[in-house]
Amino acid sequence: MQKTCNQCSTSYEIYDDDKALLHKISPTIGGRKFEIPVSDICPECRQQRRMSFRNERKLYRRKCDVTGKDIISIFSSDSLFKVCDKDYWYSDKFDPLEYGRDYDFNRPFFEQFKDLSLTIPMPSMRVERSENCDFNNDMGDCKNCYLCARTHQSQDLIYTYRGNRSSSSIDCTQITRSEILYECVDCVKCYNCKYSFFCSECTDCSFLLDCRSCMSCFMCTNLRSKQYCFLNEQLTKEEYEKRLSEFNFGSYDHVQRAYKMYADIKKKAIRRNLIKVNANNSTGDNLIDCNNCHMCFSTQFTEDGRYLWDVKDYKDSMDAYSGGRNSELMYYTTAGAASYSVQFCFRTSGCNDVLYSFYINTSKNIFGSIGLKRGNFCILNKEYTEDEYNDLMPKIIDHMISTGEWGKFFPSSLCPFAYNETVADEFFPLDKGRANDLGYRWKEDDPKDFMPQTYNIPNNISDVKDDILNEVLACDTCNKNYKIVPAELKFYRNHNLAIPRYCIDCRHMRRNKTKNPMRIRKDICKKCNSEMDTTYPEGTDMQIICDDCYLKEVY
């Protein structure tokens, strides 16, 4: 069935399997099943809406509205929402049931939920079981990390997005079980590598693309189990060390020239059209151990999923961004973990049977609530008996059906953040006018963040003095200010790395651009001319080939 998206006006397909999974996911309350209707906006617009509810990387100094304490928060001081220090909010001192209210059948649900959200304080950020990690967000079991996001079981990371079980690294995106990395993307089990992308089990390497089990290689692509390769040429140890000695990573000019060389060798590199490992009857990209998944991206260990982004360990779920830990029957959620039958929610963990709620932990039978911990049979943060809940909920859903709200995600007017504070702006960039047209708020830049730079950064790290720690630097791309912190300078000196000339946001976005769009298109294999699916954008310079040809060429 073809439909036209109510947001972007593009045509999209509603498949029979979409309807079948929606029927399976649809909740049963009080002995009655409430069918979730098919969405009136396309999969990409649905993903954009979910992402717009997540500020993953922007941090602000402000006051806690409950304790008066000076805190670091993902909510700015001019946010519409009240904010509570995370340590207080997650403790037993904070009682979310104090904010409970009756459901009003004379008003739309979303209007009532907005009133609740503007009354109850939101948690300042999420940092759990971590030491010396105050300036981070979405972090657990970490130590000595600074300005990282979505990072777990790691230590001594700086400016890293999605670091897992890794240590002593700076400016990386998606690294796992790795140590001493700099400016690396999608690297697993790597050690002492710089400027390396989509590599695994590599050591003492720089400027690599799609290499596996390599040691002491420089400016190479598509290598497997190699050592002492320079520009994909096999050298002896002595030859390699001599040629590498001519390059100085501590010189900013040398690194810039290397980036230009790297851009040229990327054009000659062969790239697999899609990454699918043990992905049976599945469409999408970056799929590992998936079965019966449709249009899923960066998804692992998942069965019977549709339109999932960046999740693992999901089953019978649809339209979700970011989540994991053995979850099932999830629909239109972001950051759902270890949960069962959760729909239209933002941040649920260890929950069962939750609808239209924010920040719910270890709870069940919840509707339209915020901040509950170990709750049961609650509506708008008010507790009911089981019989009362099962009697009232069908009436509420019938009311939502009559107002046209049932089956829709929270509107943009309920988004806790300005659009350009969220991860949605990274994947679906909008200008202020278009964002406002869609109902989103927009946060203007603070002029104080754009002071002119007067300090002259030396070209070579060996010439950089400690006084740089007191200087305000300005990004060469966007002019936004940034600073060098002591642990960062120590890392640059220890590993002979030049001082960066770009702010951490521009560095993050540069790394993001090395990753493909989450969008499938048709193309022709550069080797065998067969038709194939790929996520590489049209017009790419790289040599994109089908899976069969890739395996023949690389292995």
Single out the residue of 4, 32, 6 nearest to residue 404, CA to CA. Answer: 6
Predicted confidence at residue 268, as pLDDT, reads: 84
The secondary structure of residue 262, as a DSSP letter, is H
Predicted confidence at residue 266, as pLDDT, reads: 87
What angle, 0 to 180 degrees and rounded to 10, lies between the N-to-C axes of helices 109-119 and 386-403?
120
CA distances from 62 to 59, 78, 132, 138 (A): 10, 9, 19, 18
What's the angle, vertex CA 521, arms to CA 515 and CA 522, rounded to 5?
A: 125
Amino acid residing at 89: W
Using the structure block, give the residue that is written with the tokens 């972007």.
8
Predicted confidence at residue 554, as pLDDT, reads: 85
CA distance 408 to 130: 36
CA distance 505 to 345: 28
Burial letters 295-318, b for 16+ CB under 10 A, else e: bbbbbbbbbbbbbbbbbbbbbbbb
DSSP of 407-439: T-PPPGGG-SS-GGGSTHHHHS---HHHHHHTT
CA 536 from centroid of its chain's CA atoms: 19
Single out the residue of 256, 230, 234 nearest to residue 243, CA to CA. Answer: 230
Q: What are the CB-based long-range contacts (under 8 Å, 24+) for 76-79? A: 76/421, 76/443, 79/416, 79/417
Using the structure block, give the residue that is written with the tokens 């054009």.
267
Q: Which two tokens stand for residue 6?
A: 């109510």
Alpha helices, DSSP H only, in 52-108?
86-89
CA distances from 302 to 296, 307, 341, 354, 409 (A): 10, 12, 16, 21, 23
DSSP of 199-257: EES-EEEEEEES-BS-EEEEEEES-BS-EEEETTEE--HHHHHHHHHT--TTBHHHHHH
Predicted confidence at residue 251, as pLDDT, reads: 97
Would you say 370 and 112 are in contact if contact means Cβ atoms under 8 Å apart? no
227 beta partners? 215
Predicted confidence at residue 252, as pLDDT, reads: 97
Single out the residue of 271, 267, 319 nearest to residue 293, CA to CA. Answer: 319
Predicted confidence at residue 81, as pLDDT, reads: 95
Q: Which two tokens stand for residue 550?
A: 């890739």
CA 529 from centroid of its chain's CA atoms: 35
CA distance 152 to 404: 40
* H or E stretch at 191: strand 191-200
In the predicted model, residues of the chain with pLDDT beneath 50 are: none
Q: Which two tokens stand for residue 12?
A: 């999209």
Tell me if residue 543 falls in helix, strand or coil.
Answer: strand
User: Taking the model in full, what pTM does it have?
Assistant: 0.94
Amino acid residing at 197: F
Predicted confidence at residue 267, as pLDDT, reads: 85
CA distance 248 to 354: 56
Q: Which two tokens stand for residue 67?
A: 């304790």
CA distance 149 to 56: 6
* H or E stretch at 158: strand 155-158
Would you say 378 and 367 are in contact if contact means Cβ atoms under 8 Å apart? yes
Q: Which two tokens stand for residue 123?
A: 């948690």
297 beta partners? 285, 309
Would you say 155 and 165 are in contact if contact means Cβ atoms under 8 Å apart? no
- Residue 465: how many CB atoms within 10 A of its CB? 8
What's the angle, vertex CA 323, arms to CA 318 and CA 327, rounded to 5?
A: 65
Q: Tens digits of per-residue pLDDT, 312-345? A: 999 999 999 999 889 999 999 999 999 999 999 9
Using the structure block, give the residue that is written with the tokens 């790395």.
497
Q: How many CA atoms within 13 Å lie on the side-chain side of 422?
A: 23
- Residue 152: how many CB atoms within 10 A of its CB? 18
